[in-house]
Amino acid sequence: MARKKQDIILENIEIEAVAAEGKALARVDGTVLFVQFAVPGDIVDVKVTKKKKNYMEGFILRMVKPSEHRLEPFCSHFGVCGGCKWQPLPYEMQLQAKQQQVYDQLVRIGHLDVPEISPIVPSDQTQYYRNKLEFTFSNKRWLTQQEVAEDVKYDQMNAVGFHIPNAFDKVLAIEKCWLQDDISNRIRNAARDYAYEHNYSFQNLRTHEGMLRNIIVRTSTTGELMVIVVCHIERDEEMDLFKALLQHLADKFPEITSLLYIINNKVNDTITDLDVHVFRGNDHIFEEMEGLRFKVGPKSFYQTNSEQAYELYKVARNFAGLTGNELVYDLYTGTGTIANFVSRQARQVIGIEYVPEAIEDAKVNSQINGITNTLFFAGDMKDMLTQDFINQYGRPDVIITDPPRAGMHQDVIDVILFAEPKRIVYVSCNPATQARDLQLLDVKYRVTAVQPVDMFPHTHHVENVVLLEIKN
C-alpha cells in the first residue's frame, strides 16, 4: 500500500525579495522557496506544493504578520483569476523589481557587457490601461475555495470571464476587471445578463457545444469602441437569437462604433482564419499617436497599452538616431506602427511581418497618413529576410526589431549580421530571449544603451529597448 504523501508546512517564513514570474522568495535552511502573492517583509506560513533538490514552491497558508509595504488588493478577483499578481506590491517596488529583472537577464545571467541601465519609464496609468480584453463564455463556472467551503449554490453555472490558469475548461465569472475602461465591464455584464434572461447556451469547452463563445472589447484613445462577439451557430433559429443579443448591445450602448460578430464552429478559438461580419458601424477603429492615425481591425495587433506604446516608440525612435537619410528595416512590423512612426525621420522604411492582414493594415496606415516612403512585405521572417532580399532592396543603415516573446530565429540573426547595419534597435517583451539574441549579435555589435519601459503595471512583464552599434 502506497504511503500517503505528507503535506509540508513551513512556519514563520520571512519573505526576502521579489522573484521572477511574479513570485517572491525566501530561504529555508539554504534552500530557495518561491511563494505566490507574497510581499518582501511578509511573515507567513507556507504550504509547499513542489519540492526539488535546489528549490521549493508554495502558497501562503496563513499570514502571520503582513509586511509594512503590503497593500490591500483593489480587485475582488485577486489571487484567483491569475492576472495582476503584484497588486499588494507598491508601484515603486514593482518598478524596482522590473529594473532588476532586466539587469539580471542581461548582466547576471546573460554576462553581457552593457552600459548603466537607464531608470525604467513608469506608466502614468496603473489601472484601466489596456485597450483590449477578451472574455470567454463557459457553461462551467469556477468556484473559489471559499465558495466550495461555504457550499455556495448558484442558480446559474454559466459564466463569462477569464480562463483559470491550468484549468482550460473552467472560467472565473468576472464582475469587475480593473484593466480596461469600465465600459468593458458594463458591456460584458450586459451580454451576460441578457444571455441569462433568455436562457442562451454557453460553450462547453470540452465538447465545443453551446452558442456563445467569446466577447472582445477594444477601446482607443480616439474614443472609438469596438465589440466583437464570437458564436457557434448550427441552426437558423440560433442565428436569430444571436442577432437579438447583438441588437440588445447596439441599443444599450450607442457609443459602440464598431459592433462585429464572428461565427466560429471550429474546435479552437483562433479567429485569424474566419470571416468578420459587421452588425453595426465600421469594421475598424482608429488609434492616434503624434498626429498619426492607425487603423485597427478586429484581427490587428496593436500594443495593448496605447499611451505607454507612445513612450516605448519614442525610445525606439530616439535610439535609431535618424537624420532623414537612412534606410530602415522594421522587422516584425505588425500593422506598421513603428515603421510609420519613424518614417518622417528616415529616407525609406521597409517593414516585414508574418501576418498578411497586418501588412495590409500597415499599407493603409501609410496611405491615410500620406506617408509615401514605406514598403511592406508579408511572410515568415526567416524566409523573407534573406541575403537576396537585402541585395534587392538595399543594405539597411538601421534595423528596428520587435519580435515575439520567443525572440528572433537564428536565420534572422545571421542575415542581420550579414547586413551589418550601423545600429540595431531591439525592442523586446522578454528580456531573457533578448539577452540570448544579444549574445549572438555580440560578434559584431556592442550594446550602447538600455531602456526598460513598464507597459503592464501590477504584472511582472517588462518591455526593454536596447541600442546596439557596430564595432569598429
pLDDT of residue 2: 52
pLDDT of residue 4: 56
State the catalytic residues: 429
Whether 399 and 457 map to the same domain: the answer is yes
pLDDT of residue 151: 80
DSSP-assigned states of every residue in 167-198: EEEEEEEPS--SSB-THHHHHHHHHHHHHHHT
pLDDT of residue 155: 81
d(CA 87, CA 49): 23
CATH number at residue 7: 2.40.50.140
Give the number of other CB atoms < 10 A from CB of residue 92: 10
Average pLDDT, the chain: 94
pTM over 0.75: yes
Give the number of other CB atoms < 10 A from CB of residue 267: 7
3-class secondary structure, 283: coil
Q: Is residue 41 part of a domain?
A: yes
Q: Is residue 116 part of a domain?
A: yes
Whether 229 and 261 map to the same domain: the answer is yes
**C-alpha dihedral over 227, 228, 233, 239, to 10 degrees?**
30
- State the total domains in the chain: 3
pLDDT of residue 144: 82
Q: Is residue 361 part of a domain?
A: yes
Helix axes 431-441, 410-419, angle to 10 degrees: 50
Q: Smallest Cα–Cα separation from 227: which of 263, 249, 251, 258?
A: 258
**C-alpha dihedral over 187, 191, 197, 198, to 10 degrees?**
150
Give the number of other CB atoms < 10 A from CB of residue 241: 19
Q: Is residue 81 part of a domain?
A: no
Q: Can you give the residue range of the structural domain that contains 14? A: 1-70
Q: Is residue 88 part of a domain?
A: no
One-letter amino acid identity for 240?
D
β-sheet bridge partners, residue 160: 137
Q: Is residue 158 part of a domain?
A: yes
The CA-atom distances, in angstroms, between 439 and each of 202, 435, 442, 464 are 48, 6, 5, 16
d(CA 289, CA 316): 14
pLDDT beneath 50: ranges in the chain: 1
Whether 261 and 345 map to the same domain: the answer is no
Q: Which residues have a Cβ under 8 Å from the Cβ of 95 and sit 6 or more positions away?
A: 120, 122, 454
Whether 364 and 312 map to the same domain: the answer is yes
Q: Is residue 75 part of a domain?
A: no
CATH number at residue 114: 3.40.50.150
Whether 51 and 119 map to the same domain: the answer is no
Whether 59 and 152 map to the same domain: the answer is no
Whether 121 and 146 map to the same domain: the answer is no
Whether 120 and 153 map to the same domain: the answer is no
Q: Is residue 405 part of a domain?
A: yes
d(CA 112, CA 445): 11
pLDDT of residue 181: 97
Whether 175 and 254 map to the same domain: the answer is yes
Whether 263 and 313 map to the same domain: the answer is no
Q: Which residues have a Cβ under 8 Å from the Cβ of 171 and sit 6 or more positions away?
A: 136, 137, 138, 140, 141, 142, 159, 160, 161, 162, 163, 164, 205
Whether 51 and 11 map to the same domain: the answer is yes
